[in-house]
């Protein structure tokens, strides 16, 4: 169960996609004579200091799963990236190829723990195949990387020529707010900006050992994301 509303300006979208849809699925499982094995995809934001539409709805969603009494693994991934990413790092990589200047809010030294989606898929597969995981697992990226360094590495990887420029947080906030006036579904919102600078740091557990998978180093994963001959050039519209 990994459907989720991640961004947007209307809380009702988060309510419908993260809370109500999950309740329908849980109700269907309870009605089944042979309940399917459930793997629930929560999020690291349930333990974040941020209080925005996404984190609020994901906390409610996870609590629904806990209250359901259905024994299942609950996986809490951090920021994910990889093939077919129309948002997050995928969108940022395409943006920096189109503009001469790439803005960074404030000093840019915000700790990120990016998780390669290929590794997370391996964890989900392990859960479905072994079916003996029934706890909450914090699936954080194994490396701590500053946001600005992530952006610089992506720029090097894709060969973008934009100038990475730090701008004051307040100005960055106003620019996003202005964008939202003209775009009802903006790729990034002021709430997501606040989450970026919230200084969250999430627990790192030995998920490679627990699930029997291999963690891909960030530098290697970035190369696979953008340079894979089959999938690296596929771009999904936002």
As for how many domains the chain has, the answer is 1
pLDDT score for 168: 95
Q: What is the mean pLDDT of residues 197-206?
A: 86
Range of the domain at 206: 11-227
Q: Domain with 99 in it: what CATH number?
A: 3.40.50.720
In a domain, 213, yes or no: yes
The predicted pLDDT at position 91 comes to 85
Give per-residue pLDDT as tens, 90-111. 888 989 999 999 999 999 999 9
Phi/psi for 160 (5° steps) reads: -70, 150
Q: Is residue 232 situated within a structural domain?
A: no
Helix (H, G, I), strand (E, B) or coil at 73: coil
Buried b (16+ CB within 10 A) or exposed e, 121-156: ebbbebbeeeeebeeebbbbbbeebebbebbeebbe
Share of the chain above pLDDT 70, in %: 100
Average pLDDT, stretch 209-233? 92
The answer to whether residue 137 sits within a structural domain is: yes
Confirm whether 234 is domain-assigned.
Answer: no
Residue 131 scores a pLDDT above 70: yes
Q: pLDDT, tens digit, for every residue of 143-185? A: 999 999 999 999 999 999 999 999 999 999 999 999 888 887 8
Mean pLDDT, rounded, of the chain? 91
Residue 104 lies in a domain: yes
Predicted confidence (pLDDT) per residue in 6-56, tens digit: 888 899 999 999 999 999 999 999 998 887 789 999 999 999 887 889 999
Q: In whole angstroms, what is the distance from residue 148 CA to residue 120 CA?
A: 24
The whole-number pLDDT of residue 238 equals: 58
Q: Is residue 3 part of a domain?
A: no
Is 238 among the domain residues?
A: no
Looking at the domain assignment, is residue 1 inside a domain?
Answer: no
């Amino acid at each position: 169960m990994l459907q989720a509303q991640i961004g947007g300006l209307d809380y009702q979208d988060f309510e419908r996609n993260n809370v109500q849809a999950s309740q329908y699925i849980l109700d269907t499982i309870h009605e089944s004579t042979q309940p399917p094995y459930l793997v629930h995809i929560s999020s690291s934001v349930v333990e974040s200091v941020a209080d925005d539409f996404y984190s609020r709805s994901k906390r409610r969603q996870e609590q629904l799963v806990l209250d359901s009494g259905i024994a299942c693994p609950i996986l809490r991934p951090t920021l994910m990236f990889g093939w077919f990413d129309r948002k997050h790092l995928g969108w940022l990589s395409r943006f920096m190829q189109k503009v001469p200047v790439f803005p960074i809010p404030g000093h840019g030294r915000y700790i990120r723990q990016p998780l390669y989606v290929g590794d997370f898929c391996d964890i989900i597969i392990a859960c479905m195949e072994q079916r003996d995981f029934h706890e909450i697992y914090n699936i954080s990226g194994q490396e701590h990387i500053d946001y600005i360094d992530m952006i610089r590495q992506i720029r090097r990887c894709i060969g973008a020529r934009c100038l990475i420029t730090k701008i004051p947080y307040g100005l960055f906030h106003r620019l996003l707010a202005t964008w939202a006036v003209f775009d009802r579904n903006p790729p990034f919102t002021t709430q997501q900006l606040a989450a970026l600078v919230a200084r969250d740091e999430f627990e790192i557990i030995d998920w490679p050992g627990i699930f029997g998978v291999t963690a891909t180093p960030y530098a290697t994963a970035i190369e696979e994301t953008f340079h894979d001959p089959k999938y690296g050039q596929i771009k999904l519209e936002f």
